Amino acid sequence: MCLTCGCGADDVRVSLQDPHHHEHGPAHPHDHRADRETLVLEERLLAKNDHLAEHVRAFLAVRRMAAVNLMSSPGSGKTSLLERTIADLDGDRRIYVVEGDQETAFDADRITRAGARAVQVNTGSGCHLDADMVGRSLHALDPEPGSLLFVENVGNLVCPALFDIGEHARVVVISVTEGDDKPLKYPTMFAAADLVVVNKIDLLPHVDFDLPRLHEQARSLNRDVTVLPLSVRTGERVRDWYAWLGALTAQLEELEEGEPHGAAVGP
């Protein structure tokens, strides 16, 4: 069990590989000694995850790959953004995708039809991906050098922000139909983000959503975060998303070559 969020890990299934089982007994809620042991165990689990995340980063470095962790609540348009990205960048750089959902392979099927190779991770009762799941998925994908990896995390705005999965950048995707108060409701997620994609801006005339307000709230939590409004459906400002991806990969290539770090990534 993941002691940070309380989700189970016994029923995690990674396509093409056997699931890895973890079992930990529950602590009695009124046993203070057990509470202390739970905190120690939680720290150990997070430390183990961080260690595995470093292995993921080492794998990516050897293959000269960039990895982006996409996080959002359900229905924001993460999968649609990936489908459009795969179609529009076809031939520019090989794209691989790790799909995280509690059940079904619906999204992995969509990604495969769009033209990218995907691995589906079904977490069962789990509400996030971790470094072990991503590491096993990478070995299943066996990506070619110089490619781009997207990890579409399980849809929620809480637990995915707490787990390092070896990514180079964290992107939070929200839609204008969700309301502009998400940063203050889910501060950990937005504080951890490198980029906030605001999708479905074609619906702005029909919803009560204040873009400047969201931008201000996000910057109050993370002064370096970039906020990028776009519409996957109409294509408005989608090129800015591709420019951001290009800047990210260029920075990583510079670091690998030992050149000085450039300006902050932005559209």
CB 69 within 8 A of CB 130: no
18 located within any domain: no
Q: Mean pLDDT across the chain, nearest whole number? A: 87
Position 94, amino acid: R
Identify the CA nearest to 236 among candidates 202, 204, 206: 202
Whether 137 shows a pLDDT value over 70: the answer reads yes
Secondary structure of 14-44 in the HEC alphabet? Answer: ECCCCCCCCCCCCCCCCCHHHHHHHHHHHHH
pLDDT at 6: 61
Indicate if the alpha-carbon torsion angle 215, 170, 124, 95 is positive or negative.
positive
pLDDT band at residue 17, thresholds of 50, 70 and 90?
Answer: very low
9 located within any domain: no
pLDDT at 25: 45
pLDDT band at residue 88, thresholds of 50, 70 and 90?
Answer: very high
Whether 117 shows a pLDDT value over 80: the answer reads yes
From 6-15, 162-171, 216-225, the region with the lowest mean pLDDT = 6-15
CATH number for the domain harbouring residue 36: 3.40.50.300
Whether 247 shows a pLDDT value over 90: the answer reads yes
From 23-37, 77-91, 197-211, the region with the lowest mean pLDDT = 23-37
3-state secondary structure of 135: helix
Radius of gyration from C-alpha coordinates of the chain: 19
> What is the model's pTM?
0.84
Q: How many domains does the chain have?
A: 1
3-state secondary structure of 134: helix
3 located within any domain: no
25 located within any domain: no
11 located within any domain: no
| Interatomic CA distance for residues 265 and 249, integer angstroms | 10
pLDDT at 262: 40
- Domain of residue 178: give its range: 32-256
6 located within any domain: no
